[in-house]
Amino acid sequence: MPVLLQVENLRTQFYTSAGTVRAVDGISYTVNEGETVGIVGESGCGKSVGALSILRLIPDPPGKIASGSIRFQGRDILAMSDEELRNLRGAQISMVFQEPMTSLNPVLTIGLQLCETMELHLKLTPEQARSRATELLGMVGISEPERRLQQYPHHLSGGMRQRVMIALALSCNPKLIIADEPTTALDVTIQAQILELMKDLTKRLGVALIIITHNLGVVARYADRVYVMYAGKIIEGGSASDIYHRPLHPYTLGLLRSVPRMDRPRGNRLIPIDGQPPDLTREIEGCAYRPRCSFAVARCEHEVPPLDSVGGGHTSACFEKARLQGLLKEAS
Amino acid sequence: MKAEAIAVSVPADIEAELAAARLPFFKAFGKWVRNQPLGAVSAVGVIFMILVAVLAPLIAPHDPVEAHYEAMAAAPSIEYWLGTDQFGRDLLSRVIWGARTALFIGFTSAILGATIGLVLGVTSAYFGGWFDLLFQRVMDVFLAFPLIIMALAVVAIFGTGPENVIIAITIPFVPRCARVVRSNALAIREIPYIDAARALGYGHLRIILRHMAPNCMAPYLIMLTTFLGQAILLEASLSYLGLGVQEPVAAWGLMLQGGAEEYAESAPWIAIFPGLAITLAVFAFNLFGDSVRDTLDPKLRAR
């Protein structure tokens, strides 16, 4: 499938009084057309900043995209003028945010917010926009769409608002939707509904999707490919089943062992990852995960392990991946 | 799973709940009157004044500028209810026409000042950074001058006359409103729906006017009602000082000047009635402004 989005060596930094925070420190990945890509990592690992950088939504100051390139359908987003960028946002690439309770404007009706985007980007007349808005609300599973259009966000529940956000994201037929923790603020039953809905709609409409989450279960089920981030870097990437069943980085392994799994016998102990993620204001020497890693060797202290391929599109940034591979074989 | 299969069903009683939340107008109004008795009284006063101003040509018993030489500085009587001034002009008619001048200038400058302040305040908060810093320092310079001094300076530059009085009163209002609105808009800027609006490709102007400004309506309305009373007082002060509306237009501040001072002992009504009109108008508008603030500001409402 043709490449839709190509992020190369992206660095996003925040210049604060406490020093420069290297929130995203040289990440590279690609998203193909119609593909669902998951980006996983714990809080503060740079996954959201990386996503916001794609649309250049990083508040500047204090943030800045320091280097790298982001190519969308071959065009460099970082070189775009403000006007080109406005025509890209919402129309070609749209976003679904984490907080459905606050990502809709409380003083405007649902209909107004849906129609405004389509009138702006698709140049629809108010009547056309209205009928398409009704259709979209039906598509995301909201009952009585006609009446909902006249309601304000506070009339809707969190799950329904997130459906509205998805409708809004889909409204201008984008090529790519970036969902930044789309289900974190929802309760578990609604989470599954929203994820099913997003997967179903993106597959049906051929829209590529980037799901950013800290929930490995989410990506295992809904993503085609997964990238794991730690301390602003991608430390492992591969197909969802590679990451889930054959992790080749101690951090991914640690994450997997610290969450309960339905596919393993009950009674298995959950093993937490000790320690704290590193302070990103300081220059990190060697592997960022080394202080918390049980596989660390002397080399890890001074050399940054490169993100190497282990075959089949699976990459890992660990010097000890051969040892991990051996252990996995033994276990199975 | 299909999208249709997981459609959200709406509880049947949601409609009833919504209806209960939306009180009928009269019930809501009754509740407001009970919570804000002073506000209700002042609202009656404000509405009365607006009616008087609008209907001035119909209800004024005499021409406000016509001199009755047979009754100069006459005491209140059946013919001239509030008496006449030193030129024999009917005071009641002049007070009624004066309401028109006061409210026209008051409303125009308050609305202009608050609206310009709203847009500037939101813009300043939206862009932030050095723009906000610079803009706020300019506002500080304006705020350093007391209201009346600032208005005096503006009149000194532009000259007198109703339009210039409006400009003179509007200019000092702008930074006051801009500052209050800015602090509110700073909080709104951080709410994700503004990020969402940017992610949808909306331009700056659209975000400022359509997405942020309507969220600043509470401080805007509070400032607007506060400005109304101040504007009426300022207009009267400027007119009294001879820098506002000019004779022979009927204006309350103007009526306190000249004859009113000379005849203070022999014909005190010349000064009393316009003074009373100014007092009541400012009192009513300020009380009304206070009750609007109490109603709109959730932090004060809790008390």
- pLDDT value of position A21: 87
Amino acid identity, position A221: R
Per-residue pLDDT of chain A (332 residues; tens, 9 = 90+): 788 999 999 999 888 888 888 888 888 989 999 899 999 988 878 888 888 899 998 887 788 888 889 999 988 998 889 899 899 998 899 999 888 888 899 999 999 999 999 999 999 999 999 999 999 999 888 888 889 999 999 899 888 898 999 999 999 999 999 998 888 878 888 888 888 888 889 888 999 999 998 888 778 888 889 999 998 889 999 998 888 888 889 998 888 888 777 777 777 778 888 888 888 888 788 888 888 888 888 888 888 888 888 878 899 888 888 888 888 888 77
Q: Do the beta carbons of residue A177 and residue A169 sit within 8 Å? A: yes
Residue B253 has pLDDT above 90, yes or no: no
Residue partners of B163: CB distance under 8 A and separation at least 6: none
- Whether residue A97 and residue B196 make contact (CB cut-off 8 A), yes or no, is yes
Q: What is the pLDDT of residues B204-240, one digit of tens each?
A: 999 999 999 999 998 899 899 889 999 999 999 988 8
| CA angle B164–B169–B175, rounded 5-degree value | 130
* B 172-211: CB under 8 A from A: 191-193, 195-203, 206, 210-211
Q: Examine the pLDDT at B185 and tell me if it is beyond 90.
A: yes
Question: For the structural domain made of A3-92+214-331, what CATH number should be given?
Answer: 3.40.50.300
A114/chain B closest Cα distance in angstroms: 10
Question: What is the per-residue pLDDT for B117?
Answer: 95
The beta-carbon neighbor of A57 closest among B2, B191, B199 is B199
Q: Identify the closest residue of chain B to A89 by CA–CA distance.
A: B201
Residue whose tokens read 């204090």: A62
B10 has a chain A CB within 8 A of its CB: yes
Q: Record the pTM.
A: 0.82
Answer whether B200 sits within 8 Å of A107, measured CB to CB: no
- pLDDT tens by residue, B65-102: 888 888 787 778 888 778 888 888 888 999 999 999 89
CA-closest candidate to residue A30, choices A39, A42, A20: A39
How distant is the Cα of A292 from the closest Cα of chain B, in angstroms?
Answer: 34
Alpha-carbon gap, residue B230 to B271, rounded angstroms: 21
> Do residues B238 and B252 touch, judged by C-beta distance below 8 A?
no
Mutate: best of A83, A94, A103, A115, partner B, most B CBs <10 A: A103
The answer to whether the Cα torsion of A315, A316, A320, A321 is positive or negative is negative
Q: Where are the domains of chain A?
A: 3-92+214-331
The predicted model gives B40-49 an average pLDDT of 91
A contacts of B7 (beta carbons < 8 Å): 141-143
The answer to whether residues A23 and A49 touch, using CB atoms and an 8 Å cutoff, is: yes
Tell me how far apart the alpha carbons of residues A39 and A45 are, in angstroms, rounded to a whole number: 11
The reply to whether residue B214 touches residue A141, judged by beta carbons under 8 angstroms, is no
Helix (H, G, I), strand (E, B) or coil at B121: helix
CA distance B230 to chain A (A): 30
Q: Which of residues 228-287 of B touch A (CB under 8 A)?
A: none
Distance from CA of B196 to the nearest CA of A (A): 6
State the count of interchain CB pairs (< 8 A) between A and B. Answer: 92
CA distances from B98 to B87, B103, B151, B166, B256 (A): 17, 8, 20, 15, 12
Q: Tell me, yes or no, if B6 comes closer than 8 A to chain A by beta carbon.
A: yes
d(C-alpha B81, C-alpha B268), whole Å: 14
For residue A160, the chain B residues in CB contact (below 8 A) are 8
The Cα of A238 is separated from the nearest Cα of chain B by a number of Å equal to 26
- CATH T-level topology, domain B37-66+83-301: MetI-like fold (1.10.3720)
